[in-house]
Amino acid sequence: MSDPAEPAAAAVRTQERDGVLVITIDRPEARNAINGAVARGVADALDRLDDSGGLRVGVLTGAGGVFSSGMDLKGFLAGDVPVIAGRGLGGLTERPPRKPLIAAVEGYAVAGGFELVLACDLVVAGEGARLGVPEVKRGLVAGAGAAVHLPQRIPPAIALEMLLTGDPITAGRAAELGLVNRVVPDGTALDGALELAAAVAANGPLAVAVTKQIALAAPDWSHAERWTRQGGLMGPVFSSEDAQEGARAFAEKRPPVWKGR
């Protein structure tokens, strides 16, 4: 059973790799079910990602060949709530990080585990992975993002089929629907995510962060305001030292050296 006093460090491991912060849910004995300790550990790791000038991209994964089986129901019944106020399930679903976050999925990413995946910006999945929202099979509602976001991410009829039947889909089907960026051989999702993260991390950090902000916010902007809003966000990037460095490095045919300012 989940222990409400379980320290976050025991449930979530982190490792820095060349500007990438790998965040691993480390409860393989519970199929990486999300409890309070996981939520606190993920939230702490995401704060570290956003606050560190040396970190450019985050990768979220699970230990033991499983991404996450969702909310720890035993812990929930014992009063261990895996939600951080203002941040949502797992410390992520309501307030993702400012910097890019990539999910590396092996095995099952279901229920709340799938909702963590939906909160990530990019997804790399092993070909044997299964993704889905079985909440209705347990008399629950996928309230940590799937019921809200899934009909906007994929055709509504397909989203409703997933939500109302609770049946999972394969990684290949998820890729066809646009939920997964890359499908890789089982056991290599983390390697694939790190490869993708390296490609993102090589770019200007200010430009990457603002590009993500614009891309995610733009659907809520009216036609009349979108250019003004985008311009306000872009201005500081175009006047930054990094913008000058990017142009200079291109002219000098060398890799840029970003300063994040």
Domains observed in the chain = 8-201 (3.90.226.10), 205-251 (1.10.12)
More confident residue, 80 or 4: 80
Q: Is the separation of the CB atoms in 67 and 109 below 8 Å?
A: yes
Give the chain's mean pLDDT: 93
Q: Is the pLDDT of residue 144 over 90?
A: yes
- The number of angstroms, rounded, from the C-alpha of 32 to the middle of its chain's C-alpha atoms is 16
Amino acid type, 204: G
- Segment 154-183 mean pLDDT: 97
The string over 66-88, giving b where at least 16 C-beta atoms fall within 10 Å of a residue's C-beta and e elsewhere, is bbbbbbbbebbeeebebbbeebb
Helix, strand and coil percent figures for the chain, each rounded to 5: 45, 20, 35
- Catalytic residue, chosen from 6, 16, 29, 115, is 115
pLDDT > 90 fraction of the chain, expressed in percent and rounded: 89
pLDDT of amino acid 1: 39
Average pLDDT over residues 129-137: 95
Per the annotation, the verdict on 195 as an active-site residue is: no
Check if 115 is active-site: yes
In the chain the beta strands, taken as DSSP E runs, fall at 12-17, 20-25, 57-62, 83-84, 88-89, 101-105, 108-110, 122-126, 130-132, 169-170, 182-184
What band does 258 get if pLDDT is binned at 50, 70 and 90? Answer: very high
Amino acid at residue number 73:
L
pLDDT on residue 19:
94
Burial class, 101, CB count within 10 angstroms (exposed 0-12 / middle 13-18 / buried 19+): buried
Per-residue confidence (pLDDT) for residue 6, from 0 to 100: 59
pLDDT-derived band of residue 183, with 50, 70 and 90 as boundaries?
very high
Instruction: Indicate which residue of 135, 176, 195, 245 is catalytic.
Output: 135
Residue 3 in this model has a pLDDT that exceeds 80? no
- How many angstroms separate the CA atoms of 211 and 234, rounded? 8
Q: For residue 2, what pLDDT band results from cuts at 50, 70 and 90?
A: very low
Count of all residues that appear for the chain in the document: 261
Q: How many CB atoms lie within 10 A of CB 179?
A: 20
Q: Which tokens in the block code for residue 48?
A: 């570290």
Can you tell me the distance from the alpha carbon of 123 to that of 121, in angstroms, rounded to the nearest whole number? Answer: 7
Q: Which two tokens stand for residue 25?
A: 């849910």
Question: How confident is the model at residue 252, as a pLDDT?
Answer: 93
